[in-house]
Every structure is written in C-alpha cells, then in structure tokens.
Amino acid sequence: METRSGIIPMPNQVIEGQGTYLLQGEKRVAVSPNSASMLVFGYLTNALKNTAVTLKPVSPGEQADICFLADSSLADEAYTLDVTSGGIKIASNQTSAGLFYGIQSLLQLMPAGIYDTRQKYEKKIELPAIHIADAPRFSHRGAMMDVARNFQPKEEVLKFLDLMAMYKMNKFHFHLTDDQGWRIEIKKYPRLIEIGSRRSQTQVGFCDYYYPRRFDGKEQRGYYTQEDIKEIVKYASDRFITVIPEIEMPGHASAALAAYPEHSCGLGKTYVVRDYFDVFDEVYCPKEGTFRFLENVLTEVIDLFPSHYIHIGGDECPKKAWKKCEHCQVLMKREGLPDEEALQSWFIHRIEQFVNSKGRDIIGWDEILEGGLAPNATLMSWRGEKGGMEAARKKHHVIMTPGSTCYYDHYQESPEFAPLAIGGFLPLDTAYNYNPLPVELTSQEQSYIIGTQANIWGEYIQTPEHFEYMAFPRLLAMAEVQWTQPAHKDFYSFTRRLDKEFERLDYCEVNSCRNFYEVSLTGTWNSTQNVYEVTLNTFCPDAEIHYAVNDSVILASSPLYTAPVRVAEDAVIYAAVYRKGKPLGKITHKSFTINKATGNFYTCVPLPSSDKVNPGMGLSDGVRGYARELRRWVIFDADTVQMTFDLRKPISVHKAAFAFLWRPYDMLWPARVVTASVSNDGKEFTTVGNQKLTYDFSPTEGTRFPVSLSFPEALGRYVRLEFLSGGGCPRGYYHEGQPSRLAVDEIELY
C-alpha cells in the first residue's frame, strides 16, 4: 500500500521499479499534433517552467525522452505511466484526459520544490522507476464553490481549478445564485447584476448567536461578466474540468426577486437581497412570465457553459407563498396537482423539458424527488443518502453529497479553536472514509451513482484564504474517495502522503487547515479501572506527542505521550506534535471536569431529541458544552425533563451544577425550575433541593448559562434532577409562542 511515490489520489495499480530517471536539460517529447495532446504538452511545459528542464515537441515515432502514446484500449480518463531509466511513457486513449492525469501523477513524483515560485528550481529532478496503470472509480469527481453567499474573485476560482486538476477532479459545480447574491451577468436582465449582486451588509457571527441579529455594515458585492465566465470555462476545460453552473429555483431566489419582483407571488412583500442566512419564503411564482424569464436566463447560461448538466437547484423551497397565491392555486387545480409538492415537481419538470430541448440534462438537489422526479433528472443527494438511494432504485443518475461527509462548510477541527463555521463536525478521517456506494443497494442500483463531491458553502466564508482553509486538506481526502478503489484506500497511507503534500500546497500558497499537525484530546471514563482517561491523537504520522497537565508551556522536554493520561480532578491538558525534537504545529488544549457524576450512567425521561457526542453519556463525559458547538449539547423537546444518575453506591452529595445553552434562533431556552432528589433504591426519591432559575437575557452572544443548586448534604446511590423547561419562546423572539427546547451539558455532582 505504502509507496515512495506518494501520489494523491492513490493510483489503482502501482509497481515500483529499480533505479531512477533523471529529468534535466532539454527533453524531447513525442506528442501527436492533435489539440488535446498539445494542450497537455503545454500544461506540462508550464508546470516545469520554474525548473531547468525544457521540453521540445517532436513527432510520434521520432526518438524521444518522454512519449505521449495513444492506446485506444484504455477507457476514458484511464492512463498508464512508465518511468524507467531510459525515459517516460504515458498512454491514454484519444480523449487525452488520461494523458492529463498521467501528467498529474508524473508531477507528483517530482520534488514539491518545482512549485516554489520564489526561486528557480535548479536541482536535478530524479524520478523513481515506476509502472502505474490507473483509472478513476467515479466519473463525477466534483467540488462545489458557493460564490453567491460571498463573492470569490475570479483569480480564486482559477486557483481552485488548478488545485482540483492536480488531484484529478473533473467537475466544478459553480453555485452562482442564491438569496444573498446573483453572481453571473445575464445580458437580457441587467438588474440581476445591478441589484442582485450587492447587499449593503451581512450578519455578524452565526445566525444563532445574537438576538437581535447584528450586522457588519460592510457592502458585499461582486459578479462575473460573461467574459469572466468564458475565461473560467476555458481555463477549466484546459484542465479537463467541466464547469456545472447552478441557477437556483424555485427557492433561494431572493436576489433575483429583488431585481425582478414580478416573478414572485407578490403578496405585498418587498423583495431584497438577503443580508442574513436562512431559508426564505419568497420564491419564484410559476407564472408564464417567470418561465419566460428563467428560460431566457438558462438560454444565456447554456450558451456560456458547454456542460451537459445544468444544475437548477430545487432545494429548500418553502410552500408558504404558493399556498397563499391565487395564481398558484388556480394553476394547481388546472393541472390536477394535489399539493404544493406536486407543484414544485411540475415546476422542475417544466424547466427540465426546456433544458432537455437544448440538448442538456438537469441536476437537482434531492427535494426534486418530492411530488415526483422529473424524468431525466440527475439527483444530488444532500440530506443523507436516502434520496440518492431512492433515485438510484428509480434508475436515475445520482451524485452523493450527504452533509455529514461531503459538506466542507462543517468544522474540521475543534470548534473551540476554529474560525466560525456553520456547525457540524467533519474531520479529515471522516471525509476520507466516505464510501459513496451504500451497501443497501444492489450493484446494479449502485451503478447509477456516478460520483460524489465536496460542497463548500459560503455563508461564513468571506475571503479566499478562508475558502482554502475550509477546502484543504479535506479536498485531497475527497479526491481519493472519488478516484481510488476501496481496496487501495488506506487512511494511514494517505496521511503519510499528505504529510509530504503539504509542502506542495504551501508552495502553491494554499491556506490549508493545519490541525493535521496538532493534537486532538478526547476524554472517556474507563469503567474497568474506574478512572478518567484522556486520549491524545494526531493525524500526523511518524511523530510524537508531548503534553502537560495544567501547564500551557509545551517543550520537547515535556512528558512524551505513550498511553491515555489519567486525571483525578478538573484539569486542562495541553499538547503539541513533535518530530525529531521540533514542534510541527501549535499547542492545543482541552478542559475536563471530574466530579461525582463523571462516567456514571443515567437515564432520561423523555429521551433526548439530539445526543450526538458520546450518545447516552454526553451529560457525564467530563466535557462541558460550549456555545460554539451545538452538537455537544444534549437537547430535549419536552416541558419537563428528568435525569436520574446511578452513582453505583451510596454517595454523599450537596451540589448539582449544570449549564444550559440559550439560542433563541434554535428555540433553545434555559430551564425555569430545577428540583433535586436522592434515592437508595431508585424507586423512592426524597426531594433535597428546589430552585427557580432566572437569567439576564440582555441582547448578547448566544450564551451558555451555568447554574448550580446547593442543598444539605444527602446520601444516595441515585440522584435525580428534574427541570421545568423554558416554556414557550417569548414574545418578540424567534419562533414566538412555539414550545422552547432545552439544551443541557454537563451535569456535575459534588
């Protein structure tokens, strides 16, 4: 599995040979004079421009050092690469896509220093002898960039295309329109840009954080001219990448409707480019004028993008406006549509017919299943894999992008230290271990799954540097998911190759997330030894971890981590990754709270509705919830919540401490009353304390409210806490009048 070649994504067949080939001076390249081969030749020449190597094209059959060979027996995108002491041979079929991927593998055999643009690479380039026979696992190997929420400059798009190409990715999904911005010039409808491509401000922080919302006061604007789009499409095509444009409909249309409100259902609303992030009720109304508008937009889009697929969105379209709209209701009657879901399906079907009439096919998010799938549609499954499986069973092509493994807007390192993200937790190993072919499907059904992609949503990504931080290094894990057959995938091997690859990413000035070189800390109760243990991990191979308890200074002389660290009382553990005595990344830390509840089992009535981290033990796992990481909180949808801890033997307690998360946006309100009781048999409980709880709800950051309840010393094996939840969401706040929810973590007993 391990190869000294270190190629990402791992090729599907590698045989390492003896000896090396020396690439230096002028080299003759035998290349067919067809345009695709010459394109690849130009790419290689450009890739080596910073080195002392020059390439001279010669005709096939002439004596040459590097041969581009045509082999019609190879599949599209497949290639063979042979490096021997006598020269280099790369073969592909006539499309030359395989040739391009062979070149990518060849370039990864070279030292990363050839990518250093600050100085010429004068050293000799020694290539290991190798035979590679390779072909991709999936034909759709994509990445989505959301430039609608926050615009990204054209230069960043081009840079990203360069990086995708290096890792053999071939579909760039360009999310061009949304509620917060319209980013593509449409000649027939100039207001889409004049009005739709700018907003005067953007919400500050996460949408859940502040009540009321806060705004930055900074104008956000930007769009691509049709000339820009042509340049992007050509740049991508020169790298064997297809740009798939997404024009959102019928929902996520606020920016378009701000420019052309006549295509809404009306209803007396004003239509604005949205300055915060949510799902909005203002959607396109299925009027003839709206279809003319969308068809004219799509006509220009189709003229600009040669992609066979045109993404028409289809996700998150609330039906509120359609329910109230007379036109929509009359239309539903006329067409015999039983409900608004059927109207959505009718809408998408009609757009599909138009796109099909232009010789193209649509892709839609999995909501397009609701009310019936348009006949030729390809489905992009994002709300898990269920929609994708259903579509595959219906013999529709599917691209798997479930949120938990493909949404690269989720955190990849501890939210305590990471820049603000939308939520979730998708670390490198989770990204790597994704298999887009669900075992529930037969192999026949699986054959409809054409691939997978990383979706990099842009709500909280305001700069190119931040975009790169979210994309990398996870995108390299995705590349291997897309390209490499499961039998050849191995996370440890990947980390060794990635460790080297960071150097190349650095030379390419990619702002990768660096938690690869840091320590993650996880605490668990060891119930056999009755002790709390903290495990320290790093993705980084061939490295040591040094750590300290309650001491933030970590040096090479700090204790070397060899086994889980045992802690008997509250502690903060600090740690860093070292190799050969040198630190590789920054120091990370985590706080642990150890008390009489820690590690003990408990029962909850009712059961929590969300319990994601250490399910069943989240309240006593030694880690307190914090405002940033919603998933760590144990959430209940109930008016009263009872938790009963089993301390395993009678223990004396005098205080319970706990915390609630206050986030009006998520209907999370702290409890109003807490009652504590104890029992020796788990049946008869004696109340020992009871308290009304009050809070300061002055407008503030989404808040963790720590609370405690003291009571006279009591002895019991079982301790029960009962919370009366916050009641209805108060007047003037989000979700006014609806039942609030309770988020608790941690429960501590003293």
Catalytic residues: 178, 252, 316
At 185 the three-state DSSP class reads coil
Residues 235-274: x where in contact with Zn ion by CB under 5 A, - otherwise, as a string: ------------------------------x---------
Identify the CA nearest to 425 among candidates 524, 520, 536: 520
CA angle 433, 206, 318 (to 5 degrees): 85
Should residue 320 be labelled a site residue for Zn ion when binding is judged by CB under 5 A? no
Q: Which does 325 bind (CB under 5 to 8 A by kind): Zn ion, ligand ACM, none?
A: Zn ion
Should residue 43 be labelled a site residue for ligand ACM when binding is judged by CB under 6 A? no
Instruction: Choose, by CB under 5 A, the member of 107, 258, 325, 678 that binds Zn ion.
Output: 325
Q: Which does 328 bind (CB under 5 to 8 A by kind): Zn ion, ligand ACM, none?
A: Zn ion
How far apart are alpha carbons 646 and 706 in whole angstroms? 23
Instruction: Choose, by CB under 6 A, the member of 79, 271, 382, 408 that binds ligand ACM.
Output: 382
How far apart are alpha carbons 546 and 713 in whole angstroms? 41
Residue whose CB is less far from ligand ACM, 156 or 315? 315
Alpha-carbon separation of residue 350 from 347, 376, 407, 702 (angstroms): 5, 12, 29, 44
Instruction: Choose, by CB under 5 A, the member of 40, 69, 285, 380 that binds Zn ion.
Output: 285
List of residues 6+ apart from 530 with CB closer than 8 A: none
- Do the beta carbons of residue 102 and residue 90 sit within 8 Å? yes
Residue type, 135: A
Alpha-carbon separation of residue 26 from 32, 39, 42, 392 (angstroms): 19, 19, 15, 52
Query: Considering CB under 6 A, how many residues would be counted as binding ligand ACM?
Result: 4
Minimum distance of Zn ion from residue 267's CB (angstroms): 8
Should residue 343 be labelled a site residue for Zn ion when binding is judged by CB under 5 A? no
Q: Which does 285 bind (CB under 5 to 8 A by kind): ligand ACM, Zn ion, none?
A: Zn ion
Identify the CA nearest to 598 among candidates 671, 663, 647: 647
Minimum distance of ligand ACM from residue 279's CB (angstroms): 8
Residue whose CB is less far from Zn ion, 327 or 393? 327
Residue type, 348: I
Q: Which does 253 bind (CB under 5 to 8 A by kind): Zn ion, ligand ACM, none?
A: none
Pick out residues in 461-520 that bind Zn ion (CB under 5 A): none
Residues 490-509: x where in contact with ligand ACM by CB under 6 A, - otherwise, as a string: --------------------
Q: Which does 316 bind (CB under 5 to 8 A by kind): ligand ACM, Zn ion, none?
A: ligand ACM
Residue whose CB is less far from Zn ion, 124 or 327? 327
- Do the beta carbons of residue 449 and residue 378 sit within 8 Å? no
Alpha-carbon separation of residue 60 from 64, 89, 131, 509 (angstroms): 8, 12, 21, 37
Residue whose CB is less far from Zn ion, 115 or 347? 347
Residue whose CB is less far from Zn ion, 265 or 597? 265
Residue whose CB is less far from ligand ACM, 152 or 515? 152
Identify the CA nearest to 668 among candidates 629, 625, 637: 637
Q: Residue 527 corresponds to which tokens in the numbers above?
A: 């119930």
Should residue 283 be labelled a site residue for Zn ion when binding is judged by CB under 5 A? no
Residue whose CB is less far from Zn ion, 282 or 367? 282
How far apart are alpha carbons 137 and 406 in whole angstroms? 17
Q: Which does 374 bind (CB under 5 to 8 A by kind): Zn ion, ligand ACM, none?
A: none
Q: Which does 231 bind (CB under 5 to 8 A by kind): ligand ACM, Zn ion, none?
A: none
| Alpha helix stretches (DSSP H) within 147-287 | 154-166, 191-194, 226-237, 254-259
Other residues' Cβ atoms within 10 Å of the Cβ of residue 326? 10
Residue whose CB is less far from ligand ACM, 9 or 314? 314
| Alpha helix stretches (DSSP H) within 110-210 | 154-166, 191-194
- Do the beta carbons of residue 318 and residue 281 sit within 8 Å? yes
Minimum distance of ligand ACM from residue 388's CB (angstroms): 13
- Do the beta carbons of residue 115 and residue 507 sit within 8 Å? yes
| 158-161 LR contacts (CB < 8 Å, sep 24+) | 158/231, 158/232, 158/235, 159/464, 160/467, 160/471, 161/232, 161/235, 161/236, 161/239, 161/241
Alpha-carbon separation of residue 563 from 533, 534, 536 (angstroms): 9, 9, 8
Instruction: Choose, by CB under 5 A, the member of 99, 328, 369, 707 that binds Zn ion.
Output: 328
Instruction: Choose, by CB under 6 A, the member of 116, 162, 228, 316 that binds ligand ACM.
Output: 316
Minimum distance of ligand ACM from residue 316's CB (angstroms): 5
Minimum distance of ligand ACM from residue 147's CB (angstroms): 15
List of residues 6+ apart from 490 with CB closer than 8 A: 1, 10
* Segment near Zn ion (CB under 5 A); pick from 3-11, 320-328, 507-515, 609-617: 320-328
How far apart are alpha carbons 243 and 224 in whole angstroms? 14
Should residue 116 be labelled a site residue for ligand ACM when binding is judged by CB under 6 A? no
Residue whose CB is less far from ligand ACM, 21 or 460? 460
Residues 322-361: x where in contact with ligand ACM by CB under 6 A, - otherwise, as a string: ----------------------------------------
Should residue 278 be labelled a site residue for ligand ACM when binding is judged by CB under 6 A? no
Residues 296-315: x where in contact with ligand ACM by CB under 6 A, - otherwise, as a string: -------------------x
Q: Which does 327 bind (CB under 5 to 8 A by kind): Zn ion, ligand ACM, none?
A: Zn ion
Instruction: Choose, by CB under 6 A, the member of 101, 172, 305, 365 that binds ligand ACM.
Output: 365
Residue whose CB is less far from Zn ion, 142 or 250? 250
Strand partners, 249: 313
Secondary structure percentages of the chain, helix, strand, coil, to 5 = 25, 30, 45
Should residue 327 be labelled a site residue for Zn ion when binding is judged by CB under 5 A? yes
How far apart are alpha carbons 244 and 311 in whole angstroms? 7
How far apart are alpha carbons 43 and 39 in whole angstroms? 6
Q: Which does 315 bind (CB under 5 to 8 A by kind): ligand ACM, Zn ion, none?
A: ligand ACM
Minimum distance of ligand ACM from residue 256's CB (angstroms): 17
How far apart are alpha carbons 516 and 512 in whole angstroms? 10
Minimum distance of Zn ion from residue 150's CB (angstroms): 30
Residue whose CB is less far from Zn ion, 265 or 476? 265
Residues engaged in binding Zn ion (CB under 5 A): 265, 285, 325, 327-328
Residues engaged in binding ligand ACM (CB under 6 A): 315-316, 365, 382
